[in-house]
Amino acid sequence: MTTPVIVTTQEELETLTQAWVQAGESIAFVPTMGALHQGHLALVEQASQNADRVVVSIFVNPLQFGTGEDFNQYPRDIDKDARALGDSPADLVFAPTVSEIYPEGPGATATQSAGVIGRLFEGASRPGHFDGMLTVVYRLFDLVKPDVAVFGQKDAQQLFLISQMVDTLALPIRIVGVETVRGSDDLALSSRNAYLSPSEHQIALAIPQALDAAGVARNSDEAKKNARAVLEKSEGLEADYIEIVDPDSFLALPPGSPAHQGRLIIAALVGSTRLIDNQLLTFG
């Protein structure tokens, strides 16, 4: 494998991708915000199994960061990211500027609406986040024109909303979800883990422990209770939400639901770092 080509403009991107299309090659796309880790590389590997060529984008999207969030502090190191992709199947890295993505400026850009689901859970805690996320994903889809796009299941609500947008707009793109990649201690890999001190990292392990506790429950009510009990006894961790949703609608399962499956979703603050995780549960 060789180091992928890095381009920063739409023109450079189109020159390469159109040549692939003319040669009859399919394109898989992995959108990222950089700060790449093994979770991202798993997405790239999965992408390579679904198409002839792989494009990875690196773009920190201002529209999905709210007031007081970590847009300016979010880690950016394109050289390090390029090295990380050097042993991967990525063929091309698209690393545009903000003006390349939003020629009229982020504030003047027409946004995609995430609808009702976009205002729940992460959307309730981070107003406008999912509208901004869908807006940049739609813009990147338009530029890259992939046949396949690959996303991590760790961001379950994001994956649901992207799939919904693709279906609603009848975009000719197949969405592939990849199971969450975890460290040796079961903490879900995330670029934001770099913000955790060693002691905070240990506190954060309560999140996968809560998922494990929910996994042995007989029904959704018991699963939610088990997860909450683990998180509430963890000093230094503040749970934002603990919910079990219908995988098909992403709406919360009502109390006493007879559903045989549900996706447990968790968001919590460890120090000043916001972490999310989830797990599909089967009951009965």
Any idea which residues carry the catalytic annotation?
40
* CA atoms of 111 and 142, how far apart (whole Å): 14
Strand partners, 55: 29, 92
Task: Look up tokens 């996968």; give the residue.
Answer: 208
Q: Which residues contact 146 (CB under 8 A, 6 or more apart)?
A: 27, 28, 29, 51, 55, 173
Question: Which residues face 245 on adjacent strands?
Answer: 252, 263
CA–CA gap between residue 98 and residue 134 (Å, rounded): 16
The residues, ordered by sequence, that sit 6+ positions from 138 with a Cβ below 8 Å of its Cβ are 112, 165, 169
In terms of Cα–Cα distance, which of 13, 45, 16 is closest to 28? 45
Hey, what amino acid is at 178? V
Paired residues of 94 in beta bridges:
7, 57
Cα separation values, 44 from 13, 27, 92, Å: 18, 12, 11
Please write down the HEC assignment for all residues of 180-236.
Answer: CCECCCCCECCHHHHHCCHHHHHHHCHHHHHHHHHHCCCCHHHHHHHHHHHHHCCCC
